[in-house]
């Protein structure tokens, strides 16, 4: 853990996603890709956290969702039994998250701020997840240090992100933002995508070790997203704090 931690978020990235708050829960809106992949992400994480081998029984494990936005993944994990805290620096998105959770009858502790704010308060969790977040942060090393500081020894950190490859540039940047219009233009900066090798090395320096990795790819219209060995575009990784 670094003695002095720099801010892990940039105002431009916060404003970008805060502006989408009202449309976040529209499954056909600008967050449609996240809606589509959310069952896979939550199910994959639950299987690696599950007590007794049942991914639908997380036994009240404390889980922090960093960069939670309007709460797609937070709600998914809460429905599986986790005790979820959602953290984001975008106030409009959090307002939507709180309203939607209340309407869904879910108890989720949503907080405005950044990881370093929780560290200062002494918060620690059984698991931490940051899904489609690390490719937007200002300082990956500081961000990983923060996630490691927020998880208890023996706990797990889960990240999903985009690989920096020619295929990801073609499909996740040009295809998704400009050709198919699945995402608003400017959602991603391909240069900020991170390879699994880079992520693994940076995680080790933060005291985390990779224990599982899987690619994520969209299936047919009725199939949803599925796990795959191919990590060339989207992937999800489990890290353990020893």
Q: Residue 7 gets which letter from DSSP?
A: -
What are the residue ranges of helices labelled H in 26-137?
32-49, 72-79, 91-103, 115-120
Residues 6+ apart with CB under 8 A from 28: none
Cite the beta strand spans of 149-205 per DSSP E.
151-162
C-alpha gyration radius of the chain: 17
- Is 67 among the annotated ligand-binding positions? yes
Nearest CA to 174 out of 235, 233, 132 is that of: 233
What are the angstrom distances between the C-alpha of 6 and each of 105, 115, 129, 143, 165?
36, 11, 20, 9, 28
Alpha helices in 124-220 (DSSP H): 140-150, 166-168, 196-205
Q: Which phi and psi (to 5°) does residue 134 adopt?
A: -65, -25
DSSP character for 174?
Answer: I
88 assigned ligand-binding residue: yes
Q: Is 131 annotated among the ligand-binding residues?
A: yes
| Cα dihedral 200, 161, 166, 210 in deg (nearest 10) | 20
Q: What is the distance between the alpha carbons of residues 120 and 140, in angstroms, rounded to a whole number?
A: 19
Q: Which residues are annotated as a binding site?
A: 41, 67, 88, 131
Q: Which residues are annotated as a binding site for S-adenosyl-L-methionine?
A: 41, 67, 88, 131
């Amino acid at each position: 853990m670094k003695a002095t931690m720099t801010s892990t978020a940039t105002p431009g990235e916060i404003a970008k996603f805060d502006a989408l708050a009202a449309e976040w829960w529209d499954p056909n809106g600008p967050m449609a890709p996240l809606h589509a992949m959310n069952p896979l992400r939550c199910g994959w994480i639950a299987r690696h956290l599950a007590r007794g081998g049942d991914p639908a029984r997380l036994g009240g494990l404390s889980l922090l969702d960093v960069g939670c936005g309007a709460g797609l993944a937070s709600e998914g994990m809460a429905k599986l039994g986790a005790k979820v805290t959602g953290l984001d620096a975008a106030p409009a998105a959090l307002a939507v998250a709180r309203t939607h959770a209340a309407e869904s009858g879910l108890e989720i502790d949503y907080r405005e701020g950044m990881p370093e704010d929780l560290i200062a308060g002494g918060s620690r969790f059984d698991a931490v997840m940051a899904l489609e977040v690390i490719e937007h942060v200002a300082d990956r090393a500081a961000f990983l240090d923060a996630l490691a500081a927020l998880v208890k020894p023996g706990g797990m950190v889960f990240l999903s992100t985009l690989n920096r490859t020619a295929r990801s540039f073609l499909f996740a940047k040009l295809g998704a933002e400009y050709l198919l219009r699945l995402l608003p233009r400017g959602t991603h900066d391909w240069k900020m995508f991170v390879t699994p090798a880079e992520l693994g090395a940076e995680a080790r320096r933060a005291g985390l070790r990779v224990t599982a990795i899987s690619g994520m790819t969209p299936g047919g219209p009725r199939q949803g997203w599925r796990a795959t060995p191919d990590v060339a575009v989207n992937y999800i990784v489990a890290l353990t704090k020893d």
